[in-house]
Amino acid sequence: MPEEKALFIGVDFGTSGVRVSIIDARGVEQAHAKTAFASIGANGRDPHIWWRAFQLTLDNALAQIDPSCVAGLAIDGTSGTLLAVNPDGVPLADALMYNDPCTDQELLKRIGQLAPETSAVHGASSGLARALQLAQDHEAYKILHQADWISFRLSGQFVSDENNALKTGYDPVERCWPDWVGETGLPVSLLPDVLPAGTLVGPISEDISARFSLPGSCQIITGTTDGCASFLATGAAVVGDGVTALGTTLTLKILSDKPIFAPEYGIYSHRLGDQWLAGGASNSGGNVLLGFFTPQQIMDLSAEINPEISIDLDYYPLSKAGERFPISDPSLPPRLTPRPANDANFLQGMLEGISAIEALGFSRLTELGGPALRSLRSVGGGAQNAVWRRIRERRLSVRFLAAKSLEAAFGTALLARRGAYGIS
């Protein structure tokens, strides 16, 4: 297919639903679609609901373009979400989600004794801990990450990427599953092969090609995590460029020329070519705001806030006890009192609290040897709130730049383009 006619699909599996972005060889979006898991079924951890939502979303996106021009497809998923499957790739149970804490202290102790201090597997939110739980509870043939399973449904191959595999124990420096992973009791044979993000997996399977009227030459490309995809979508490309994802949770990443690993602060680094995305994910974010207000109420109350005057309520907004980054403490309690009688003041206190967590996160990265933050782009639903943006600008004191796209699916489409045609 001529490069100028080629189209590339990015699929984003977030916390609440699926989004698809289709771009051309120039990186211009040609189609977009989304589906909420709740519109399919109530159980968002059921892989069958993921698949049904994926089919509906891809159908809607493909209706906007000529499917015969699609050259590549890549998928991102929530980091650390895992499921057990049989030899045919059929799920054996619901997935364990990225924010499901491990309560087995003996298991966590075992991981802590064997894993290097710099590994991303430490703590109650460890992906490796979830993998061990799945191996204990099921007669699994493979344990896959969310994006791996969708990729398998499309290609028939059990393959993961370096970003999704990180929290399960993959070593991105040596580029392998290290021996100590097997010593924890998890047979490495249960884990998928790992390729760099944006790498050819193979052609789409015949049945999927027929189902979606996609050409047999369409290539499945290794994807990434939803957080890394959001970073790629923004256009950030220089060391020191930072991206904050203001979604259900708060995710921070900065482009670095070297990896930063500090599990005591919930900091880890994803490999992307010869550069690194260093950062972490807080449990704070939009989930806390939506626990008190509807999206419309947030919009209306924001209009009553003067972002130039701080209210200084010193909140640490969490929806429940437990934090991953920039403080790693599974029992850290929410701090949301005192609550002002005025709802606009209460919302401002939460927005300022989340902004303080963001500032602490970037400060922590610099303290640990990362580059100084030189610019910041924002993605996620919260990025569209102008009042929140101004609160954050005052707190961080760096240049805020417009993101090329706010959609993680767009970033994953860029990976599909890179993998299929080598266009960076």
Q: Which of 266, 290, 291, 283 is nearest to 98 (CA)?
A: 283
Residue 113 CB-half CA count within 13 A: 9
Helix (H) / strand (E) containing 194: strand 193-195
Kindly state the tokens that stand for 106. 């003996």
β 17-24/29-36 pair status: antiparallel
Contact between residue 30 and residue 421 where contact means Cβ atoms under 8 Å apart: no
Helix, strand or coil, per DSSP, at residue 364: helix
**Hey, which CATH number is domain 239-400, 3.30.420.40, 3.30.56.10, 1.10.260.40, 3.30.40.10?**
3.30.420.40
pLDDT in tens for each of the 424 residues of the chain?
A: 677 899 999 999 998 999 999 999 999 999 999 999 999 998 999 999 999 999 999 999 999 999 999 999 999 999 899 999 999 999 999 999 998 988 899 999 999 999 998 898 988 889 999 999 999 999 999 999 999 999 999 999 999 999 999 999 999 999 999 999 999 999 999 999 999 999 999 999 999 999 999 999 999 999 999 988 988 999 998 999 999 989 889 989 999 999 998 878 888 899 998 899 999 889 999 999 999 999 999 999 999 999 999 999 999 999 999 998 999 899 999 999 999 999 999 999 999 999 999 999 999 999 999 999 999 999 888 989 999 999 999 999 999 999 999 899 999 999 999 999 877 6
Contacts of 320 (CB under 8 A, 6+ apart): 283, 334
Same fold, 3-227+408-421 and 239-400: yes
CA distance 107 to 38: 33
Q: Which of 370, 137, 78, 135 is nearest to 253 (CA)?
A: 370
Q: Which CATH superfamily is domain 3-227+408-421 in?
A: ATPase, nucleotide binding domain (3.30.420.40)
CA distance 214 to 70: 7
pTM of the model: 0.84
CA distance 408 to 302: 25
> How do the domains of the chain map onto residue ranges?
3-227+408-421, 239-400
Model confidence over 99-132: pLDDT tens digits? 898 889 999 999 999 999 889 898 888 999 999 9
- Tell me which residue has tokens 């701090």: 335
CA distance 366 to 75: 31
